[in-house]
Amino acid sequence: MTDATHAPAAGSNALTRSWGWIRTLDARYLIAFLITLVLVAAQLRYHMFGSYDRLLLALAVCMATEAILSGFDRGRVVNLLSAYISGISLTLLVKPQGGALWPFVLGGILAISSKYVLRYRDNHLWNPTNFAVTALLLAAPERVSVLSHQFGNDLTTNLVIWGFGLVIAARVGVLHITLTYVASFLLLNGLRALALGQAVMPEIAPITGPMYQLFVFFMITDPRTVVRERRHQIVVAVVIAMMETLIRFASDMAWPLPTAFNVAPAFLALALVGPIAKWLDLRAGFPNNPRHA
């Protein structure tokens, strides 16, 4: 009877210790796990990134560039998890014409270099992958495209990725940014449909695809490039969604826009709004959040 009485308490303590270990784990490792999950799911079910030489090349370039520049800039090689995340993101997102590999080399260099060159008060302003993909789309729209294939109706895959994604976003402290953007996206696209004379049904399909999964879990929530205060983060997420909706509406109306705006409106919206918001935040004198260092 004594053993039976203490068994639940022992199990509860084990669960508490396990959850405590997860809570103390560096958030960067959780983010790396999530993007690896997206990569594995996309490749195993849909072969989305093609040949493995793209993955190896993107990872090698990102990590080598990070090691070289951090050593030169800081006198030491920093943790390469950020470069790992950028390498996998580029592998999934960039779709070059034919079997070209140069976009992964150039994209990796642009992504990591942007952190060391495009800075204000010792903070980089653009999410590295967002900057690289946007630059490639603007510079070579006829040779580089971006991932558009959806996970489709594979409910199981979406539930797994979104389940892990939401839990990890909560652990990192950016869940409110993801939820604000998703809610704003659905609402504003309903208004866009109304303005176009279409049925007022929120456009859900893009949110279920890997491109938007990368966007809502890694780009718009990047701890190093979001503004500091929670209420400002929510406002910026809404403004990014508004900018994306405006770009989509302009595309619907056949307004003359660079191809990049039509291909990846979310990426362009973040590339335009995010750095301005971050610059204003830094200019206002907010110190770095120690968690983001």
Taking residues 106-133, report their average pLDDT: 94
Cβ atoms within 10 A of the Cβ of 18, count? 10
pLDDT higher at 157 or 269:
269
Side-chain-side CA neighbours of 242 within 13 Å: the count stands at: 8
C-alpha distances (whole Å) from 226 to each of 36, 43, 123, 270 are 22, 30, 11, 11
Residue 5 confidence (pLDDT): 45
| Closest CA relative to residue 169, chosen from 31, 36, 6 | 31
Banded pLDDT at 71 (limits 50, 70, 90): very high
Burial of 154-193, coded b for 16+ CB within 10 Å and e otherwise, reads eeebbeebbebbeebbeebebbbbbbbbbebbeebbbebb
Residue 21 predicted with pLDDT over 80: no
**Region 26-292: CATH code:** 1.10.3430
- The confidence score (pLDDT) of residue 164 equals 83
CA dihedral sign, ordered 225, 230, 236, 240: positive
229-272 pLDDT, tens digit per residue, is 999 999 999 999 999 999 999 998 989 999 999 999 999 999 99
Span of 3-17, 119-133, 204-218, 267-281 with lowest mean pLDDT: 3-17
What is the value of pTM for the model shown? 0.84
Looking at residue 18, what is its pLDDT? 47
Give the tens place of pLDDT for each residue, 55-69.
999 999 999 999 999
- pLDDT of 45 reads 72
